[in-house]
């Protein structure tokens, strides 16, 4: 259940931002979870709910969106969604491809209440 | 009274800090001439046995040390202690190692001049794949008793590895495991995987595996002094 580790890292970063801006509350946190991030979205939500995050987070809305795994092909340059974990270009079938999105948990933005 | 709010754009990987720290560790060890190899596998695939056999192969020739992660107990470290310097990392329930624990463990080996540092992660093909431990190479160990369907089931672990060790090949006559099918599935997920078939128990295939590591270390020394 490493979702907890990710949630701790996330909340620490948001709390630091909130302190820096002297915010009185964190209203909304937007997060993108990649389908290849190794994260179960439901467990991630649960870990957010269970985290001891303090009063700043009392009414925080966590907006989580799922992002598909996508890659670009080094041979022909096309961009494509990776399906069935087959890392092969849809157009030219090269396997020289690089992941461009969907393999991480991204903190998009944070809405803070300042007064 | 209206409330003032502000939206701050971040757009960053939640783990960016640990990735930056891992980068620093990787560089520090490269400068010392130490190749850091992370080993991941299911429980019981033979990571510790592979390290025992590797240590015997290099005895008196190359210097290695091991950081071994487990949820509880120091049994793996006790097994390795007569062969190689080893530090047990106990995660206290966590399903994977993270860099701070690796760095604390390495502090105990800091005096040693090492050619190789192995970091044996907790036996688990899911969580360890998401964490950067400051390794130069990640190696996944798959044993013939686990079934050849593992690459397709745990794609992230295979995609993020540079080498695949198929262990326990001495048992191939007794288990329904197709090396070809496991290899084909693994290569469709990560075409750059170097694949080794070996038996940590009998020693078959160990020379090729150790040769690969020695070559990877030479590459490290050539690229990053």
Angle between helices B47-58 and B206-223 (to 10 degrees): 80
CB-CB neighbors (< 8 A) of B188 in chain A: 85-88, 95
The helix (H) or strand (E) run that includes residue B118 is strand B116-120
Nearest by CB to residue A111, choosing from B7, B17, B131, is B7
Helix (H, G, I), strand (E, B) or coil at B106: helix
CB-CB neighbors (< 8 A) of B13 in chain A: 104-107
* pLDDT single digits (tens) B99-131: 999 999 999 999 999 999 999 999 999 999 999
Q: Is the pLDDT of residue B224 over 90?
A: no
Nearest by CB to residue B189, choosing from A87, A107, A114, is A87
What is the pLDDT at residue B225? Answer: 43
Rounded to whole angstroms, the Cα distance separating A68 from B174 reads 40
Q: Give percent of chain B above pLDDT 90.
A: 88
Encoded tokens for A67: 């992002």
Chain B residues with CB under 8 Å of a chain A CB are 1, 3-15, 17-18, 94-96, 98, 126-127, 129-131, 152, 155-156, 159, 188-191
Are B197 and B205 a contacting pair, CB within 8 Å?
yes
Residue with the bigger pLDDT between A53 and B214: it is B214
Residue burial A25-56, b: 16+ Cβ < 10 Å; e: rest: bbbbbbbbbbbbbbbebeebeebbeeeebeeb
Angle at A73 between CA A68 and CA A78, to 5 degrees: 80
* pLDDT single digits (tens) B1-20: 578 999 999 999 999 988 99
Average pLDDT over residues A43-72: 93
């Amino acid at each position: 259940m490493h979702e907890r580790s990710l949630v701790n890292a996330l909340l620490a970063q948001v709390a630091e931002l909130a302190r820096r801006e002297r915010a009185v509350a964190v209203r909304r946190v937007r997060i993108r979870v990649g389908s290849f991030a190794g994260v179960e979205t439901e467990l991630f939500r649960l870990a957010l709910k269970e985290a001891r995050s303090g009063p700043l987070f009392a009414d925080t809305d966590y907006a989580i969106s799922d992002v598909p795994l996508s890659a670009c092909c080094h041979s022909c340059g096309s961009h494509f969604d990776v399906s069935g974990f087959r890392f092969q270009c849809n157009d030219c079938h090269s396997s020289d491809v690089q992941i461009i999105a969907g393999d991480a948990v991204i903190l998009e933005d944070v809405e803070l209440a300042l007064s | 009274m209206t409330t003032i709010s502000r939206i701050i754009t971040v757009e960053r990987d939640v783990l960016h800090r640990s990735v930056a720290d891992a980068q620093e560790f990787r560089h520090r060890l490269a400068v010392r001439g130490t190749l850091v190899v992370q080993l991941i596998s299911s429980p019981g695939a033979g990571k510790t046995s592979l390290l025992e056999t590797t240590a015997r192969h290099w005895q008196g020739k190359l210097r290695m040390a091991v950081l071994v992660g487990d949820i509880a107990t120091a049994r793996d470290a006790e097994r390795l202690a007569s062969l190689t310097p080893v530090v047990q990392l106990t995660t206290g329930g966590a399903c994977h190692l993270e860099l701070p624990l690796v760095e604390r463990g390495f502090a105990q080996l800091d005096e040693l001049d090492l050619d190789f540092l192995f970091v044996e992660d907790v036996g688990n093909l899911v969580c360890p794949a998401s964490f950067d431990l400051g390794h130069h190479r990640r190696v996944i160990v798959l044993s013939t008793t686990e079934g050849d369907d593992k690459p397709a089931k745990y794609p992230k672990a295979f995609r993020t590895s540079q080498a695949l060790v198929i262990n326990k090949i001495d048992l191939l006559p007794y288990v329904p495991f197709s090396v070809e099918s496991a290899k084909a599935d693994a290569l469709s997920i990560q075409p750059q995987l170097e694949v080794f078939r070996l038996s940590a128990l009998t020693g078959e295939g160990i020379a090729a595996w150790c040769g690969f590591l020695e070559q990877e270390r030479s590459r490290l020394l050539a690229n990053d002094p």
